[in-house]
Chains A and B, each alone.
Chain A
Amino acid sequence: MLMSSHASKTAWWLPEIPKSALMRRRMLWAYVFVSAPIFALLVFLLGPILFSGWVSLHRWDMLSPVSDMPWRGLSNYSYLLTKDPVFLKSLGNTFLFAIGGVGANTVLGLGFALLLNSRIRGRTIWRVLYFMPVITAPLALAVMFSFIFNRNYGVVNNVITAFGLPRQPFLSGPSQALMTLVFIAIYQYVGYYIVIFLAGLQGIPQDYYDAAQVDGAGKWQEFRFITLPLLRPVMLFVVVTNTIGALQVFDLVFATTGGAPANSSMTVVLHMYNTAFKFSRMGRASAMAFILFAIIMLITIAQVRLLRDRTYQD
């Protein structure tokens, strides 16, 4: 009971509103407030999604009128899944990028948060500093790390060779490009997740730990039976939003490797972008978008099922 009252405060659920006479009198106004955002949502999200689904069943170069698009049925989908090696390669790369980035950021974020979990001086300052990579345009980060990891005069290679080790290609090496991108993604978000996890940890009442200590629980047991269960909503937030973002990685790859060398760092959204805006194959690109959407949807649902707080459901 105690557990659930804490968990209920931290959630994706809608807060209750007391049904007083005053509130009921104002009820109709709600539609006035909600109508503009809902209108925007329908026009700029739902409409485009449906349109995109329709286009994915056609062949379209964007120049001919929409009414003249030749119908192709599901052939765009079957082409992508059976005959487009670049798409399959990009799908694999995107998964690796997401698994590496989300895994590392969750573990490192939670790990550092646990180590830092207490009142520390200058909290405001270092919290803001930890956010710096998050607020930097991915394009600027791309320039930064293309320079830092440059094969010939990047500072990392200069340090490596100073120790007598061979130069590494990093972003320009087929076997290293994707891993280097994962590293940049970790750099981009790890501070942000440390701060998020820390806030989650500080929301857990100290009483639970005190009670556990009275009962003779060890550190591991405290982590396993108090910290982890109560962090579930935060964990869910971190894993779900990070995964959705990672599966759509674009800017960073576009501006560092462009998918090269030999498509070893090609990602789904970059391939979609090229297919649509370089090669004007709107139907095929839309099909890619829908395949990725289906994948993201399935993964998100699985994550929510696995991580949601079972003590509190609506």
Chain B
Amino acid sequence: MNEGKRGRAVRYLLVILVMFFIIAPFYWIYSSSLKVSTEIVAQSPTLFPESITFGHYANLLSSSDYPIYLTNSAIVSFATMVITVVLSTSAAYGLYRLPFPGRKTIYRLILLAYIFPGSLLLIPLYVMLSRLNLLDTQLALVIINVTFAAPFSVWLLKAFFASIPFELEEAASLDGASWLQTLLLVVLPLASPGVASVAIFAFITSWTEYMFASVLIISDANRTLPVGLAGIIGQYVIDWGLLLAGAGATTLPIILLFVLIGRFFVNGLLEGGVKA
């Protein structure tokens, strides 16, 4: 009993220790972004800002097109999310619920696409998209992000589709439900935790993607947040206040989103990837 209590105390301590390790850098960045410039680079760092200033964020808004980057990121990520969900759910339904010849080959192809190193496609996809006159468009980014998010999504959905009893579909069919009704009213609702995690996964992948966006986007008006942030990093004079505000503002929306709906993603990932 005593041993168990001590064991539990140690476990909580470990959870908190790891949590501290993970949160401390975030705390440091956000608290520093609220300090005046001299305090940011002071030799004896202050744990709390001596006086809170939003000057760096105001500077970010006036010296860069942050609102435009934010809008672009939101548009690209949302479109990526919707298309990835539609494509991967339909592929998953075909692969995991319908027996057809060639099923195994296609499944293997999707797994191969998942482990294929995406960055190695940078050059050919750049050439292809420039031939299609899609350079410097948001559509190009959506195409790329869907291509990279979909294979993992199909794999993630496996456990959710596989866990739905086939008897349910048979029963619905006997009750006179059409096949489409069965799909939309029986199968999809039961797989919805999986669909939710795929949606969040696709959104995050798209939100944080930098490499392709950096070569496919040329004009300032089409930049996504990471590319905009790279523009600030690349400036000659390092303004740490501006940089920290930029990094903080790039990260804040996704953290807020994740605090609200992250548990669906984490649970879905665990159900689909590891447990089932």
Contact = CB atoms under 8 A, between A and B. Distances in A.
A92 B215 CA distance: 26
B119 A250 contact: yes
Contact of B208 (A124, A135, A190, A277): A135
A36 interface: yes
B246 A143 contact: yes
A115 B117 contact: no
A219 interface: no
Given A29-B98, A131-B258, A135-B208, A195 B270 contact: yes
A53 to B, nearest CB: 9
A302 interface: no
Q: For chain A, what secondary structure do more than half of its interface residues adopt (helix, strand, loop), or is it mixed?
A: helix
Given A112-B14, A129-B19, A130-B22, A45 B116 contact: yes
Contacts of A48: 121, 124-125, 128
A240 B40 CA distance: 40
Nearest to B204: A135
A142 B247 CA distance: 9
Interface in B244-264: 244, 246-248, 250-251, 254-255, 258-259, 262-263
B251 to A, nearest CB: 5
Contacts of A18: 166
Interface stretch (A77-85, A209-217, A289-297): A289-297
A248 B118 contact: yes
Contacts of A292: 117, 120
Nearest to B225: A137
A1 interface: no
Contacts of A130: 18-19, 22
B113 A45 contact: yes
A33 B116 contact: no
Residues of B contacting A: mostly: helix
Interface residues of B, number: 103
Interface string B13-54: 011001101110110110010000000111111000000000
A132 interface: yes
Contact of A38 (B19, B106, B118): B106
A32 B94 CA distance: 8
Interface stretch (A144-152, A174-182, A305-313): A144-152
Given A140-B251, A148-B28, A41 B166 contact: no
A286 interface: yes
Residue with the highest number of chain B CB atoms closer than 10 Å, among A23, A203, A300: A23
Given A40-B87, A137-B251, A289 B123 contact: yes
B255 A23 contact: no
B123 A55 contact: yes
A20 interface: yes
Interface of A: 9-10, 12, 14-15, 17-20, 22-24, 26-34, 36-38, 40-41, 44-45, 47-49, 51-52, 55, 62, 66, 112, 115-116, 118, 120, 124, 126-133, 135-140, 142-145, 147-148, 152-153, 155, 158, 162, 187, 190-191, 194-196, 199-200, 202-203, 233-234, 237, 240-241, 244, 247-248, 250-251, 254-255, 269, 272-273, 276-277, 282, 285-286, 289-290, 292-293, 296, 300
